[in-house]
Amino acid sequence: MNILAIESSCDETAAAVVSGDPKNLDETLKLESNVVVSQIDIFKAYGGVIPEVAARSHLEAILPVVKKALKDADKTWDDIDAIAVTHTPGLLGSLLIGTLTARTLAILHNKPLYAVHHLKSHIYANWLTNDSLPEFPLIALVISGGHTQIIKMNQHNHFDIIGTTRDDAVGECFDKVAKILGLPYPGGPAIAEKAKQGDPKKYHFPHPKLTSAPRDKNQPDNPSLDFSFSGLKTAVLRTAQEIANVPISTPSGELKNLLADGQKADLAASFQKTAIDILLEKLGQALTENPDVKSIVIAGGVSANQALRKKAIQEFGEDRVFFPEPKFSGDNAAMVGASALYEIKSGVEPTDPYSLNILPRSVIS
């Protein structure tokens, strides 16, 4: 079965062709093509994504990207058995371009349409190209620009969120700290690079301990597995102001000109160490509470971080921890195709292209 997959939830316009026999996916899943057009160069100038600009860029890129994915895979529409598209969560305008394109192509070429959740796709990036595959039950740590979640999966396409962030996502925190230090967007890779020159033990930032139940009833009810990253971002800001010897009323945008290069490197290294420690402590706790878990799957843009990979392998063992190939950590359509194929394997029915609902939801359901 050949799936044409489309992803446009944030600032990457992507299409891919993924093939596999849904009855025997663990052995047959194959990536035929993978095209990603990133808008990073546009948003570097602004230091972050502007939703309206992102949507317009998707509109320009999407049809050429789909065409190239088919060409690279050496497939025509006759070879494609189904279309998969990210329907939520993400920026509404960006999602609309991808979903409207997929719906139109599904109607035009008379193909079944699968609407895929973006975070499921991040998890399924781990089934794309790895030699060995994770075993169930597993715990997935999804760490991206918009989400930080610990999810238990007892089987394919079964997701139980057991921990989530109460405020900022960890990727968002990398991006905001990078901005304070005057590093380019996206902040994650820039912080990781700067941290190489710094001392990770120079500054001590707090590890939040959540003890009260979440206010939102839809959130998991084990507060100790929840995350909070907004305090870490503020702690870095206050430390930067202290080092620069300026009052706390000093705007964060001014600090980059007041800090020496070595101070920025120490702040980046200490922040990165704290963020990784917080993530892995909670992951360790989730494993203690779920002793039946066989594999750990780490997914989402922040999973590209090499220091995190190294420490996770040290703590949990190389055989037990899985990461996507770094190029599949961030947004791409190959992971959407893989996710759709495992949905089909699990018996999920296609969506009606005339009534696809893309209202954003922040939980996997």
Is residue 55 classed exposed, middle or buried when 0-12, 13-18 and 19+ CB atoms within 10 A define those classes? Answer: middle
* Pairing outcome for strands 321-322 and 295-299: parallel
Strand partners, 2: 19
**CB under 6 A: which stretch of 63-71, 104-112, 180-188, 244-252 binds ligand ATP?**
180-188
Q: Is 34 in the site for ligand ATP (CB under 6 A)?
A: no
Residue 17 CB, nearest approach to ligand ATP (Å):
21
- Considering the complex, state which of residue 94 and residue 239 has its C-beta at the smaller distance from Mg ion: 94
Among 198, 220, 300, 353, binds ligand ATP (CB under 6 A): 300
Q: How far does CA 121 lie from the centroid of its chain?
A: 9
Q: Which of residues 129-148 bind ligand ATP (CB under 6 A)?
A: 144-147
Q: Considering CB under 6 A, how many residues would be counted as binding ligand ATP?
A: 26
324 binds, among ligand ATP, Mg ion, none (CB under 5 to 8 A by kind): none
Residue entry with tokens 């920025």: 264
Which amino acid is residue 82, in one-letter code? A
**Subset of residues 94 to 153 that bind Mg ion, contact rule: CB under 5 A:** 144
Beta-carbon contacts of residue 337 (< 8 Å; ≥ 6 apart): 3, 4, 5, 16, 17, 18, 31, 84
d(CA 37, CA 49): 15
Q: How far is the CB of 145 from Mg ion (least distance, A)?
A: 6
Question: How far apart are alpha carbons 87 and 94 in whole angstroms?
Answer: 10
Q: Which is nearer to ligand ATP, 85 or 106 (CB)?
A: 85
The verdict on 198 binding ligand ATP (CB under 6 A) reads: no
Q: Is 324 in the site for ligand ATP (CB under 6 A)?
A: no
**Which of positions 241-260 make contact with ligand ATP (CB under 6 A)?**
none
Determine which residue in the list 36, 69, 73, 304 makes contact with ligand ATP, applying CB under 6 A: 304
Beta strands at 82-88 and 113-117: parallel, antiparallel or unpaired: parallel
Using alpha carbons, select from 128, 163, 156 the residue that is nearest to residue 295: 156
- Residue numbers of the site for ligand ATP (CB under 6 A)? 9-10, 89-90, 118, 122, 144-147, 171-172, 174-175, 186-189, 192, 300-302, 304-305, 330-331
